[in-house]
């Protein structure tokens, strides 16, 4: 008996003539991940991707865990492959299926017969297999309308496939099929969630992180890199461009009114991010802003910072409350890192009474007190890059 993984495709099946592009991209992602778990054969057919170990050293458990974080897959089943005979199917059902029925009280059997030469039809196969399950799993009963778990038997050209239940996949679209965007990644809860959510729509991520060393610590920087590695489990490998805002913030303190510090700093961030995004071929910026959550995220505040970007700015969290964002952060494993008590650049020189309903003309008047373009270029020239791999 050989065990394989069957991965059910999601939105990809709705694509038309370019569907093959999405499937090929997804398979490339899976093959890249598979290299870290041994030798696997990965094939796509009939809205299903099959992941088959090629030798006994392949780590199917590790691959199974990794596949659950790949966008484009909505369901994953562990599946046993056996000979196409009812005797082999019976033995496989008795040996393989009970582990998936622990704690379940009802089931049903669904059979598919792609190989029409098989002597029993789908209804007969389902009836026989249902009998095998009832005889080897005490206390379980059949419920064809609302079963807790579905046992499936597929008769294919090269063998019979037996599996029970389906684990939820990450959903979404394969990363890389919808362009590339630059994530403004802080050390907070929101921006990693925003990156995860936009990557789920098939967008390849790059990131920029703004620091204010020595006002922010090396530990704060490492916290951000940890968050990036946690997001990379879903989004794939990407780079983080680290930009210092220290000199800009010191100049703001010397030359501008305190109430405008946060807004002006956000304008610098957007301008710098926009230039990095253009340089590396990104089509949009991504932020973790949620409308009204803090002073810089009011409608008016966003309105005076957006003009500094020539690219679209995507805000996946814009209509979410904090609890909704936290739930996603917990699910993807970034929450515990995000709440570590290390400062970020936005907590340095924070005004006591920041403007929440700023007027663009007054913000621009404050900005003219500094050599805006020179400070932007200075920050870009001093930036450096950190490569974030997927850790297996």
Residue 175 lies in a domain: no
234 and 265 housed in the same domain = yes
Q: What is the largest CA-CA distance in the chain?
A: 86
Instruction: Give the domain CATH number at 109.
Output: 3.30.2130.30
What is the chain's length?
392
Q: State the residue range of the domain holding 377.
A: 180-388
In a shared domain, residues 249 and 351: yes
pLDDT tens digits along 159-173: 999 999 999 999 999
Q: Which residues of the chain have pLDDT under 50?
A: none
Rounded to 5 degrees, φ, ψ at 343 are: -70, 160
The whole-number pLDDT of residue 349 equals 67
Residue 68 maps to a domain: yes
* Same domain as 32, residue 159: yes
| Residue with the two structure tokens 């621009």 | 364
Q: Is residue 173 part of a domain?
A: no
Which run of H or E residues covers position 66? helix 60-67
pLDDT value, residue 341? 80
- Per the CB < 8 A criterion, the answer to whether 156 and 82 are in contact is no
Are 209 and 347 part of one and the same domain? yes
Q: Which CATH number belongs to the domain containing residue 219 in this structure? A: 3.40.50.620
Residues 35 and 74 occupy one common structural domain: yes
Q: Is residue 163 domain-shared with residue 184, that is, in the same domain?
A: no
Residue ending a domain, among 168, 192, 211, is 168
Asked if residue 112 and residue 195 are part of one domain, the reply reads no
Which SS3 state, helix, strand or coil, does residue 2 take?
strand
Q: Is residue 105 domain-shared with residue 244, that is, in the same domain?
A: no
**Residue 98: its pLDDT value, please?**
96
Structure tokens at 59: 């780590």
pLDDT in tens, 313-367: 999 999 999 999 999 999 999 999 999 887 666 666 676 777 788 889 998 999 9
Q: What is the pLDDT at residue 307?
A: 92
Q: Among 168, 194, 220, identify where a domain stops.
A: 168
The answer on 30 and 97 residing in a single domain is yes
What's the CA gap between 210 and 249, in Å, rounded? 11
pLDDT at 358: 85
Task: Work out whether strand 204-211 and strand 180-184 pair parallel, antiparallel, or are unpaired.
Answer: parallel
């Amino acid at each position: 008996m050989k065990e394989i993984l069957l991965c059910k495709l999601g939105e990809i099946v709705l694509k038309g003539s370019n569907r093959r592009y999405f499937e090929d991209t997804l398979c490339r992602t899976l093959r890249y991940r598979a290299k870290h778990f041994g030798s696997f054969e990965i094939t796509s057919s009939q809205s299903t991707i099959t992941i088959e170990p090629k030798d006994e050293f392949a780590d199917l458990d590790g691959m199974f865990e990794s596949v659950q974080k790949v966008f484009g897959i909505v369901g994953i089943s562990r599946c046993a492959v056996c000979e196409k005979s009812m005797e082999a199917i019976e033995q496989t059902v008795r040996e393989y299926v009970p582990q998936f029925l622990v704690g379940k009280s009802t089931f049903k059997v669904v059979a598919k017969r792609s190989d029409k030469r098989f002597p029993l039809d789908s209804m007969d196969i389902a009836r026989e297999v249902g009998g095998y399950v009832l005889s080897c799993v005490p206390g379980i009963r059949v419920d064809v309308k609302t079963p807790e778990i579905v046992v499936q038997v597929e008769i294919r050209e090269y063998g019979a496939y037996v599996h029970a239940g389906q684990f939820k996949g990450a959903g979404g679209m394969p990363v890389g099929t919808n362009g590339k965007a630059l994530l403004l990644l802080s050390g907070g809860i929101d921006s990693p969630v925003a990156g995860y959510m936009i990557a789920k729509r098939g967008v390849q991520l790059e990131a920029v992180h703004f620091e204010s060393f020595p006002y922010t610590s090396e530990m704060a920087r490492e916290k951000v890199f940890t968050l990036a590695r946690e997001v990379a489990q879903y989004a794939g490998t990407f780079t983080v461009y680290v930009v210092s805002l220290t000199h800009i913030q010191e100049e703001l303190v010397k030359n501008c009114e305190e109430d405008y510090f946060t807004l002006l700093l956000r304008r610098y961030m957007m301008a710098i991010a926009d230039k990095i995004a253009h340089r590396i071929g990104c089509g949009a910026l991504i932020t973790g802003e949620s409308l009204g959550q803090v002073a810089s995220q009011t409608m008016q505040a966003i309105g005076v910072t957006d003009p500094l970007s020539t690219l679209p700015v995507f805000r996946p969290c814009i209509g979410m409350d904090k609890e909704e964002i936290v739930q996603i952060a917990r699910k993807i494993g970034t929450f515990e890192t995000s709440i570590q008590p290390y400062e970020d650049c936005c907590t340095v020189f924070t005004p006591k009474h920041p403007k929440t309903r700023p007027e663009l003309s007054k913000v621009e008047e404050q900005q003219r007190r500094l050599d805006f373009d020179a400070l932007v270029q200075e920050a870009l020239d001093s930036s450096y890059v950190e490569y974030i791999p997927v850790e297996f």
